[in-house]
C-alpha cells in the first residue's frame, strides 16, 4: 500500500473529477502525439517499398504523400463533425452502434482496441529505434528498454489524466519543436541550393514499378494517419465547452501533422535518402541538416520522446473505450470503474500488459509491427464515416447535404484505403488482425450473453416471495485443539444454529488425545470423529457434509474454517493448504456457506 501511494499518489475525491479535465494545450500533447509521431516513420515506410523498384522509383514518394495528405484533410473535417455529433466520445463504436447496430459496432470497437495496443507497441519500438540509431551499442537491449518505457507510462497514467498530461506535455512539444526546426532549416537550405545530399546508391531492383507496388507504397504510408481518431474518442476529457475545444485540438493536430509529414518527405527525396537497417530516415536527414553536433542529438532525443510518448494517447483512449463497452455489457464491469486517481486504472494496466507481450513477441522490431498497424484504424475510419453518412440521410438537420458529402467522400476514401492495405499487407501479417477482430467480437458477445443470463437468473420477478427462515448447521473442521480452533468455535457459538466440530480419524492415538483436549476446551460443542480407512481427510469431510445436505434438503450448512495468518506473506505457503483445498471443493456446492475465521500470528 505504501509503494502504491508512492508510485500513484493519494486517492482523489469524486468531486475533484471536474478539475481533472484538460486544457487544449495539454490535450494536444496527449491526444495528438500518436498521429504526429507517425512522421518519424511514415516516410521511411514509403521509401522501404519504393526502393524495391530502384532509386528512380523514390520520386513517387511525393505524389503518394499528396494522396495521404488528401486523406488527412478528409479525416480532419469528418472527425470534427463527429466530435459535435457525439460529444460523449466512443468514436467508431458509438457511431456504428447508433447507425448500424451491434455487429458493426463491435467490429469497430475490436479494431480500435487492437489499434491502441499496436499504437503502444509500435510507438515504443520506434522511439527505442531512434535512440539506438544515435547510440548503436544499445541496440541489443531494445526490448528491455521498450518494456521499461511501457511500465513507466503505465505508472504515470495511473497517477491521473491531468498529472500525466502535464508530465508529458513538455517532452511532446520539445519533440515536435525540434523536428519542426529541422524541417524549417532543411527547407531553407534546399530552397537556396545549400542542402547537403547523399551520394546516389543503386540498390538491386527487386520488383518492377507497377501499380500494385505504388498501392503497396500508399498502404505503407497510411501509417501517417493512424491516431487521428483519438481526439473524437476522448471528447469528455476536455474542459467545457468540450466539443469546441476538441474540434480546435483536432485542427491544430492535423496542421502540425501535415507540415511535418510533407516536409520530411520533401527533404528526404531531395537529399536522396534511402532507408537503412541500422539508422532511421529521420536520423539520416538530421545528420545532413545539423551535422553530428548538439542539434542532431537533440533531435534524436526529441524524436525518441515523441515516439515513446505517442503511446500515451492510447493510454488515454483505450480505457475510455473499454469503459463504454463495459457500461454496455461487452467488457468486464471492472473496466467501467474509476481507480483512486479518477482514471480507468484497470484499462491502463490491461493495455500495458498486452503491449509488453507484443513487444517481446516481435522483438521490438518496428517494421515487423507496422504491417499489423493500419488495418484496425482504417476499419474504424470506414465504419465511422459510413455511419455518419447513414445518420445524415436519416436525421438530416442543418447543412446536412454538405456534411453528407464530406463523410461520404471520407467513407469511400478510407474504404478504398482499407482494401488496399488489407490486400497488400495480408500475407505480411494483416490476416492476424482480422483473426483477432473475430476473436474479440466473439468475446464481447460472450460477455454480454453472460451478463444477460446472470441478470435473468438473479432478478426478482412478481412470482417470487421472501423466503421462509431455514435451519442452519455449522460445521467446524479441525485437526487439533489450539487457539485458532477455539477462536473459530467462539465465533460459531455467536451465530444461531446447531454446531458440529468434525475431525477425521487417521491416527487413533492422536484422535484420543484431541478428544481429551476437546473435553476441556471445546466449550460444550459436540466433537464428531469421522472414520477414514484410507486416510483421506478431504473426502471424509466432503462425504459428511453431503450426507447432511441429503438428509435435510431445506437447510443451510455453514462451514467455519479456522485459518492461521502469518506475519509475513511468504510464510503463507507453510499454512492452510488443507483449508484451501476444502474451500475450493465446497465453493460450488449448493446451500454451503464458507466462513473464514483468521487467527493473526505476531512477528
| Residue 463 DSSP symbol | T
Q: Which of 389, 418, 453 is the last residue of a domain?
A: 453
Asked if pLDDT for residue 90 goes beyond 70, the answer is no
Give the pLDDT band (50/70/90) at residue 445: very high
Quote the CA–CA distance of 506 and 161 in Å, as a whole number: 60
Q: Distances from the Cα of 561 to the Cαs of 376, 491, 576, 595, in angstroms?
A: 51, 11, 10, 6
Identify the pLDDT of residue 540. 87
Is 252 a member of any domain? Answer: yes
Q: Would you tell me how many other CB atoms lie within 10 Å of the CB of residue 259?
A: 17
Question: What CATH number corresponds to the domain at position 339?
Answer: 1.20.1740.10
> Does 48 score more than 90 pLDDT?
no
Res. 14: pLDDT tops 60: no
pLDDT tens digits along 95-114: 899 999 999 999 999 988 98
Q: Are 441 and 389 contained in the same domain?
A: yes
Q: Which helix (H) or strand (E) holds 475?
A: strand 471-477
Q: Share the mean pLDDT of the chain.
A: 84
Provide the pairing of β-strand 555-565 with 471-477: parallel
In the predicted model, is pLDDT for residue 195 greater than 70?
no
Is the domain of 50 the same as that of 125? Answer: yes
221 in a structural domain? yes
Does 219 have pLDDT greater than 90? no
Write out the H or E segment, with its range, that includes residue 499.
strand 498-505
Query: Average pLDDT, stretch 134-141?
Result: 82
Q: Mind listing the pLDDT tens digit for each residue in 52-71?
A: 887 778 889 999 999 999 98
Name which residue leads in pLDDT, 119 or 188: 188
- Report d(CA 378, CA 222) in Å as an integer: 9
- Domain shared by 112 and 232, yes or no: yes
Residue 459 lies in a domain: no
Distance CA 479, CA 30 (A): 59
Closest to 314 measured CA to CA, from 96, 122, 517, 529: 122
The percentage of the chain sitting over the pLDDT mark of 70, rounded to a whole number, equals 91
pLDDT, average across residues 37-57: 85
**512 CB-near residues (< 8 Å, 6+ apart):** none
Q: Tell me whether residue 466 is in a domain.
A: no
Inside any domain, residue 465? no
- Clarify whether residues 479 and 400 are in a common domain: no
The burial of 181, by beta-carbon neighbours within 10 Å (0-12 exposed, 13-18 middle, 19 or more buried), is given as middle
Gap between the Cα atoms of 102 and 122, Å rounded = 30
Q: What is the pLDDT of residue 57?
A: 82
**pLDDT at site 3:** 56
Cα dihedral 168→170→172→176 (10° resolution)? 180
pTM value is 0.77
**What is the helix (H) or strand (E) element at residue 595, kind and residue range?**
strand 592-600
Please tell me whether residues 448 and 476 are part of one structural domain: no
The verdict on 136 and 273 lying in the same domain is yes
- In the predicted model, is pLDDT for residue 12 greater than 70? no
Q: Are residues 442 and 534 in the same domain?
A: no
Residue 42, pLDDT score = 87
Q: What is the pLDDT of residues 265-320, one digit of tens each?
A: 999 888 888 888 778 888 889 888 888 888 988 988 888 888 777 777 788 788 88
Identify the pLDDT of residue 477: 92
Model confidence at 353, in pLDDT bands (50, 70, 90)?
A: very high
Please compute the mean of the pLDDT values over residues 403-413 and round it to a whole number: 88
pLDDT value, residue 258? 94
What domain range is 243 assigned to?
A: 2-14+23-453
Does residue 461 sit within a domain? no
- Average pLDDT over every residue of 374-402: 87
> What proportion of the chain, given as a percentage, has pLDDT over 90?
22
Rounded average pLDDT over 581-591 = 85
593/80 Cα distance (integer angstroms): 56
Predicted local distance difference test score (pLDDT) of residue 205 = 57
- Rounded Cα gap, residues 164 and 539, in angstroms: 54
Number of domains composing the chain: 2
In order, the DSSP letters of 352-367 are: HHHHHHHHHHTTT-HH
Model confidence at 491, pLDDT cuts 50, 70, 90, reads very high
CATH code at position 529 = 3.40.50.620
Domain boundary among 453, 485, 510: 453
Domain shared by 440 and 515, yes or no: no
pLDDT band at 586; cut points 50, 70, 90: confident
**For strand 526-531 and strand 498-505, is the pairing parallel, antiparallel, or unpaired?**
parallel
DSSP state of 91: H
Count how many Cα atoms sit within 13 Å of the Cα of residue 142 in the half-sphere of its side chain: 30
Q: Is the dihedral of CA 582, 588, 589, 591 positive or negative?
A: positive
Residue 51 lies in a domain: yes
Count of other CB atoms within 10 angstroms of residue 167: 17
What pLDDT band is residue 386 in, cutting at 50, 70 and 90?
Answer: very high
- Are residues 478 and 440 located together in one domain of the fold? no
Alpha helix locations (H) across 228-370?
230-233, 242-271, 281-290, 294-327, 345-361, 366-369
Among 386, 418, 453, the domain-final residue is: 453
The answer to whether 17 touches 103, Cβ cutoff 8 Å, is: no
In the chain, what's the furthest Cα-to-Cα distance? 104
d(CA 234, CA 232): 6
- Are 279 and 347 in the same domain? yes
39 belongs to a structural domain: yes
Tens of pLDDT, residues 502-513: 998 888 888 899
Q: How far apart are CA 509 and CA 502, in angstroms?
A: 17
φ, ψ (nearest 5 deg) of residue 307: -70, -45
Same structural domain, 437 and 508: no
**Is 480 found in the same domain as 429?**
no
Amino acid at each position: 500500500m505504501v509503494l502504491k501511494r508512492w508510485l500513484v499518489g493519494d486517492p482523489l475525491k469524486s468531486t475533484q473529477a471536474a478539475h481533472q479535465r484538460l486544457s487544449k494545450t495539454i490535450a494536444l500533447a496527449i491526444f495528438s502525439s500518436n498521429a504526429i509521431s507517425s512522421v518519424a516513420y511514415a516516410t521511411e515506410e514509403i521509401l522501404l517499398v519504393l526502393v524495391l523498384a530502384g532509386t528512380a522509383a523514390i520520386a513517387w514518394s511525393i505524389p503518394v504523400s499528396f494522396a495521404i495528405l488528401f486523406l488527412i484533410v478528409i479525416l480532419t473535417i469528418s472527425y470534427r463533425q463527429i466530435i459535435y455529433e457525439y460529444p460523449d466520445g466512443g468514436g467508431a463504436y458509438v457511431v456504428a452502434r447508433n447507425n448500424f447496430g451491434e455487429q458493426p459496432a463491435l467490429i469497430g470497437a475490436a479494431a480500435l482496441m487492437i489499434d491502441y495496443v499496436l499504437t503502444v507497441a509500435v510507438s515504443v519500438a520506434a522511439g527505442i529505434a531512434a535512440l539506438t540509431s544515435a547510440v548503436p551499442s544499445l541496440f541489443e537491449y531494445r526490448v528491455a528498454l521498450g518494456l521499461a518505457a511501457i511500465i513507466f507510462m503505465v505508472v504515470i497514467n495511473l497517477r491521473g489524466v491531468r498529472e500525466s498530461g502535464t508530465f508529458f506535455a513538455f517532452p511532446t512539444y520539445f519533440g515536435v519543436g525540434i523536428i519542426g526546426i529541422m524541417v524549417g532549416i532543411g527547407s531553407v537550405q534546399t530552397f537556396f541550393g545549400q542542402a547537403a545530399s547523399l551520394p546516389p546508391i543503386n540498390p538491386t531492383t527487386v520488383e518492377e514499378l507497377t501499380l500494385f507496388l505504388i498501392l503497396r507504397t500508399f498502404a505503407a504510408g497510411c501509417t501517417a494517419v493512424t491516431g487521428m481518431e483519438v481526439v473524437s474518442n476522448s471528447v469528455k476529457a476536455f474542459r467545457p465547452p468540450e466539443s469546441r475545444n476538441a474540434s480546435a485540438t483536432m485542427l491544430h493536430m492535423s496542421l502540425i501533422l501535415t507540415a511535418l509529414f510533407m516536409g520530411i518527405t520533401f527533404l528526404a527525396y531531395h537529399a536522396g535518402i534511402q532507408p537503412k537497417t541500422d539508422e532511421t530516415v529521420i536520423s539520416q536527414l538530421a545528420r545532413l541538416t545539423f551535422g553530428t553536433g548538439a542539434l542532431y542529438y537533440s533531435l534524436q532525443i526529441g524524436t525518441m520522446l515523441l515516439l515513446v510518448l505517442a503511446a500515451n494517447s492510447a493510454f488515454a483512449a483505450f480505457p475510455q473505450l473499454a469503459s463504454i463497452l463495459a457500461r454496455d455489457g461487452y467488457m468486464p464491469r471492472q473496466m467501467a470503474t474509476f481507480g483512486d486517481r479518477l482514471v480507468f486504472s484497470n484499462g491502463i494496466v490491461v493495455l500495458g500488459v498486452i503491449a509488453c507481450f507484443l513487444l517481446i513477441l516481435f522483438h521490438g522490431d518496428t517494421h515487423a509491427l507496422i504491417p499489423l498497424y493500419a488495418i484496425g484504424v482504417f476499419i474504424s475510419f470506414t465504419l465511422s464515416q459510413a455511419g455518419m453518412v447513414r445518420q445524415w440521410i436519416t436525421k438530416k438537420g442543418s447543412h446536412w447535404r454538405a456534411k453528407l458529402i464530406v463523410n461520404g467522400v471520407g467513407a469511400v476514401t478510407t474504404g478504398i484505403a482499407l482494401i488496399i492495405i488489407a490486400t497488400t499487407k495480408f500475407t505480411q501479417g494483416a490476416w492476424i488482425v482480422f483473426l483477432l477482430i473475430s476473436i474479440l467480437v466473439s468475446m464481447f458477445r460472450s460477455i454480454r450473453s453472460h451478463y444477460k443470463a446472470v441478470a435473468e437468473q438473479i432478478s426478482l420477478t412478481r412470482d417470487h416471495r421472501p423466503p421462509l427462515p431455514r435451519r442452519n448447521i455449522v460445521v467446524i473442521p479441525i485437526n487439533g485443539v489450539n487457539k485458532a480452533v477455539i477462536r473459530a468455535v467462539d465465533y460459531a457459538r455467536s451465530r444461531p444454529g446447531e454446531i458440529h466440530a468434525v475431525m477425521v480419524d487417521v491416527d487413533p492415538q492422536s484422535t484420543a488425545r484431541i478428544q481429551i483436549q476437546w473435553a476441556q476446551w471445546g466449550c460444550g460443542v459436540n466433537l464428531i470423529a469421522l472414520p477414514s480407512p484410507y486416510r483421506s481427510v478431504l473426502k471424509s469431510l466432503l462425504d459428511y457434509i453431503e450426507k447432511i445436505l441429503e438428509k435435510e434438503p431445506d437447510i443451510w450448512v455453514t462451514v467455519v474454517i479456522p485459518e492461521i495468518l502469518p506475519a509475513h506473506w511468504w510464510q503463507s505457503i507453510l499454512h492452510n493448504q488443507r483449508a484451501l483445498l476444502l474451500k475450493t471443493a465446497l465453493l460450488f456446492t449448493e446451500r454451503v456457506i464458507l466462513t473464514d475465521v483468521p487467527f493473526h500470528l505476531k512477528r
